[in-house]
Structure 1
Amino acid sequence: MKNVLLLIFLLLGFSPLSQAQTSDETEIQNLIQNSFDELFSNLDAEKLGDFYTDDFLLLEQGEIWDNAIILGYFERASKNPNRPIRTNRFEFIQTKVEGNRGWVGYWNFATLTRDGQVIQEIKWLESATAVKTDKGWRLDMLHSTRVDKE
């Protein structure tokens, strides 16, 4: 009987439906990681459309940023000849997918270094929504709250 229950559990756990859900959740989490690495670490403005919808909004610490404001930030930041290196790390709290919509909550950690020395560590509590498009998952909203040092 134990073997039959184990077999049923394994079959249900590896069903195509559960794999699709897990795959979408993983894709959304990768979207978060890769968007911060490519956009906010590398300031690669050409990749904005790879991660964000045209109507994307970032609600950042009481400010509303759209794609135009984000591109302006990239332009200003890229002119800094002594710009620090940003390394991103995430701890995902929960990721949900329902059809072509997804939601994710996570802790965002950024370490800023210059000449091999840590100059600042920043922590945010964030949530984001994503939509599945014909080009894959794209973020359409991100809400970010900076966490003060304890």
Structure 2
Amino acid sequence: MTKKITLFIFIFFSVYSLQAQNVKPEEKQSIKQLIQSAFDDVWGELDSTKIEKYHTDDFLLLEHGEIWTNDTIKSCYIAKARTAEKLPKRTNSFEFIRFVKSKNSIWFAYQNYATLSIDGKKIMDLQWLESAVAIKTKQGWKLQMLHSTRVARD
């Protein structure tokens, strides 16, 4: 009986270790660059043509209680933001908390900070606590899902 239990534990941890692999430093760097570029190009530059470069076709954003798709981001958020008389410049920075790899995906959590400015004058600081899933594709890493919660700032 003890041998069966030991065998079961060995098999369980072997399978688990295959599922939860270590994230290599170069993978972490690729993911960090992916999120930085996606936020700089899509959310900072409001460039809807870059969505397909950074997001999978089935991308979902859970944004403070709302469900957004690539189409929502393009036709609602970006289209509306571009109607502003003067577009603020958005500067993005991130503090990464954790990375977890499973086969061809990496789940990661991070703090997202944005500073909005117009004509070089800061108008607002924003912060979100976010998690995301990136999928390894033929074109490289792409975001498949983002979950975002606004953090109140003083």
Interval containing the TM-score (normalised by the shorter chain):
0.7 to 0.9
Gaps of at least 5 residues in structure 2 are: 1-22
Which residue is 1:13 aligned to? none
Which amino acid letter does the alignment assign opposite residue 109 of structure 1? Y
Where structure 1 has 5 or more consecutive residues not aligned to the other structure, the ranges are 1-19
Which residue of the partner structure matches residue 130 of structure 2?
Answer: 126
Which position in structure 1 is the counterpart of 2:71?
68
- Equivalent in 89, 94, 102 of residue 85 of structure 1: 89
Q: Residue type of the partner of 1:88?
A: N
CA distance in structure 2 between the partners assigned to 1:81 and 1:35 by the alignment: 24
TM-aligned CA deviation for residue 97 of structure 1: 2.1
1:27 maps to 30
3-state SS of 2:106 partner:
strand
Q: How far is the alpha carbon of 1:22 from its aligned partner?
A: 1.5
Q: 2:116 matched to which residue of 1? A: 112
Query: Which residue of 2 is the match for residue 7 of structure 1?
Result: none
TM-score under structure 1 normalisation? 0.84
1:83 to partner: Cα distance: 1.2
Q: Share of identical aligned residues, percent?
A: 47
Aligned Cα root-mean-square deviation (Å): 1.7
Give the CA deviation at 1:77.
1.2
Judge conservation of contact 1:57–1:140 (CA < 8 Å) in 2. Answer: yes
Note the alpha carbon deviations across 1:30-74, whole angstroms, 9 max, x for none.
111110000000011111111000010000010000111100111
Partner of 1:51: 54
